[in-house]
Structure 1
Amino acid sequence: MSLTKTAPVVGPHALTRTVERLATALRLSEITEIVAEAVRELTGADGATFVFREDGQCFYAEENAIGPLWKGHRFPLTSCVSGWAMLHRETVVIPDIYADARVPHDAYRPTFVASLVMAPVRSADPIGALGAYWAEQTRPDPEVVRRLEVLADTAAVAVENLELRGAIGRRSAERDRFAARADDLDAAMHTLVHDLRGSLGVVTGYAELVSEGADAASAADYAAAILRAGDRMSAQIERMLSIYRITGQPLLPERCDLTLMARAIADDLRRHHPDRDLVIEVADDLTVWADPVLLHSLLENLLGNAVKFTARKAAARITVTPVGGGEGLVTFAVSDDGDGFAPEDAERLFRPLSRLHSQEQFSGTGLGLASVARIAELHGGSVRAEGRPGSGATFTVALPAVA
């Protein structure tokens, strides 16, 4: 069959308008819609598609055509022309689809398509492809093909810019979250300083009364009050030191055997609670790249927390297990079968001096989990909490893997 027409050359203004529109696009769907429309305008085609490469498949994300094509469908890379263009990193021009073995003819028969051009999006490492289709057999002018390739490169830049804006936004939100965490810890430090001054005032006041010649009975009461205030001061100083360790010291990361460290902490906890039936299991071969002092503090807080909140159980089971991880990260979970907490309280757990229970129910400083969150963030990792009242809790931590 002879070719019935030649695709026309379209003026450069259409491409300029497209570039300007893509520069202000804020969503991927907006980019694909603009590009599909531009493909038809620039090529004079009867249809256009924007295809993305996803997990070994071609995903037809957008189309602009005189009849339905494959929008929303996925096909293996090796079974469609868009996949061929991506795998071979080159533009495909097919004047007669039924005369080319690369075309899956059965998929095309229900459509209007007789001819096509497919250009990879980002030719060096394709993330997708742009397709132009004609209802009549057509041989596009080389300039038309070239403009489709330019549009494909422009689309690649637009997608990458969108991803970059998203990454910047996420990093900005992350920095804001880190700054908020640091501000919270700073506020906690000021609160502790205030409380420390109060305790110091109690000590000074009662010491003055003793020095002024109180009788023996009163002096004994004053001394007991001084001792109680001294204990509070000691606890407050420890809290302040824990905050200082995670806000005022540089990180000194090294390869850390998390398994060995967690098991040593577990042994100490069992020795401190000889009257309890504590089963603490730590998985083998957990290693991370972290500051060993801060990692010890993180594990001590998480395991100590688990022991504390399983105190009402006759026998408690606590586990430290790997749960996978993202690129460059090791993710592990510390789980217990204790009191748990309401899901809506998960974020509150990591706020300094924020407590879900009274001191009578469970003693504590209100700083342990805030320290855990800050330590994880300082290492470029994260922590999240999951729990149900009466069904235990799980704290999932991501830390850098050993390089």
Structure 2
Amino acid sequence: MNIRLVPAILLPFLALALQWVLWPWIAPFVWFLFFPTVFFCARLGGLGAGLVSTVLSIVIVWFFFIPPQLSWTMSTPSNLYSVGLFLVMGYLFSETQDRLRLFKEGAQDYLNKPFSVEELLARVGGLVFSRQRTVEELSRRAELLRRLAETVEKVAAVRDLPSLTTIILRAVRELTGADGATLILRDNGQCHYIDEDAIGPLWKGQRFPLESCVSGWTMLHAEATVIKDISVDPRILYAAYRPTFVKSLSMAPIGRENPAGALGCYWADRHVVGVEELELQQALADAMSVGLANLDLYQGMANARQDAEQFAATLEEAQHLAGIGNWIWDLKADRHTWSKEIFRIFGRDPVLPPAVYPEVQTYFTPESWVGLAAAVDKSLAEGGAYECDAEVVRPDGFHRWIIARGKATHDAGGNIIGLYGTVQDITERKRTEQALRESEERLAGIINSATDAIISVNEQQQICLFNPAAGQVFGLSAEEVIGQPLARLIPERFRGEHENNVRNFAQTGITARPMGVGEISGLRANGEEFPIEASISHTPTADGRLFTVILRDITDRKRTQEEIRRLNADLERRVDERTAELTTANRELDSFAYAVSHDLRAPLRAMSGFSQALIEDYGSQLLGEAKVYLDQIDLASRKMSELIDGLLTLSRSTRGELRHDDVDLSVLSERLLAELMQSSPERQVAIQIEAGLQAYGDARMLEAVMRNLLDNAWKYSAHAAAPGIRVYAEERDGIRRFCVADNGAGFDMAHANRLFQPFQRLHRQEEFPGIGIGLATVQRIVHRHNGNIEARGEPGKGAVFCFSLSNMPADSARGEKEV
């Protein structure tokens, strides 16, 4: 083995150890210590040692430092480019150092030949000068390569376009010595001058068509361009260059195939671009191409990372909304991973690590832990999946229910290497299920205790539900009819019609309605038909529509109705008989009224007339008490006449047909009081009548009511110091009452029950004349209007009479009750 190869093998590993220690401070410059390592190895061992050191360094850097570390994969294209560049630079270092070594050895051999002193001095001077120039050239090239390598390292690490542009433009000016540099990118068929670094302003921010710009020509032809004199080259848009300092330029495409842009160098004096300058410019353009690719990759990675973060946030929110968390158990590393939702479900502080056995056992009830542990053990043993419910006991003491799901993971050899799964909070579902069970139990209790028969059938008319009441009605047990057709409970002549009605009912969209039109019947187990009353409803279920019939045996009701019809017929007969009797009584009453009006009035007129004749003809001859007696006869006859008129009025108040109209009691009261004031103009009475007192009744009878009440108020307030009469309405107990009040004599409420009795009076005739018929008439008229009248009073302080009216007369009300 060549001794020169030993350093070439050992030094890269030494650089590996040193760079591994310094990596936190020098990252991401992966070639930081390997450039000097290759240079030193080439210096010691020449071309072979340099190449061995270069290849070994590439292998070490690729595996240990290029992302992803400790892997042979390569995440970005720029890393592959940097590897190629390092390989080229390693070869150049090695080949340069090997030439120096050969030159040194040749010079030594040459110096060992016999020469004269002058010739030897001349040749030595020439060799020294030549070597000095070679060393300077090699140093310059090495410096260029070092700076190029640094630029590539920076390009590999940059993450945004402005920084990348600044690095490339600064490097191309430094390495080529150009007076200016521009970066041009292709943008929708135009050349967009993105940025520039020059001694004077150029075209930053401007756009030119690809076909009219030398940078566009470079992109379209995908080759470098060198123009010594811009004034004579037809590819130059000279009008755009005239304001600038540019006399010569070179343009390198960014990207060898379908270039994305161009990198331009400009000189203020006419300049011939050398091969080395153009190669450096092209190398930087290639580095820019890799940098742009990196930016696209980084942007894609950033977008992917943002999408992943957004997806993770959305997933976390979805897990929270659904109450589902996921977990992973890595058996090899014995590492447990929980999502945030699992921490929330278990009530565990997210700062703490996931709970593992035996701590995790404390989060479950003993019964639930036994079932869950058995399911997990089975999954670990057999490699299958599991699913089971478990009751969780949180640290705060609250209980929750979960459904735990898990599945084993296997390696390539089929060995179980872990478990993964989900935990879903099903507390609300458990509560709902419990509430549903309780509801079903309550419903079953209601159905079973219902006195009406309840029967449910499916779309095929098969009985699914048959409660005890139905069993009593039809004489069958639930076991006998469940699964049987409903037709078994329907008389044969109604079965076809019933099926059609149910089918049509399902298509109407109505959810419930009474069954049948007219009378419908059921069929008992013993073949007996009986009348029923039923309603039907339908409910959609997972297995189709469910029809439910609630029916009642109305046999007893039918008997009762028949009895009621018989009783009504008998009642109608009796009403007709009573009506005939009342008609006869009314005729007799009419006859009596006629007799009173005509037969009794004739003798009274005779008595009154003859007594008056005696007074007129023989009054002067009558002495002493004779004239008094005649006056009493005349007074008694007039009194008897008034009593007859009162009886007739009282009789008419309860007879005759009522006619209902709107009656304005305010206007009526004003008219009646005006008549009273006209009859007694000497009296001064304060009158108050509330406006708008509207009543509904027989106008003739209501006038009689108001005339009697106002006559009484006028009469009984005659002895008051400042008489007053008030007509108004009031609301009591939701009933509107019309009132007539005065401040006259009043009455003792102890005798109020006598006020409305015919011919009953609470005051002496000498004080207030009258026959006691008025209030009795008022009461009977009010009662005929299905109303009520009441009186309030106090001796010496006046009286108040209030009455109410109904829209329905008492005669009609009695008629409806009788029907």
Q: TM-score, normalised by structure 2?
A: 0.25
Q: Which has the higher contact order (CA 8 A, sep 6+)?
A: 1
Larger Rg: 2
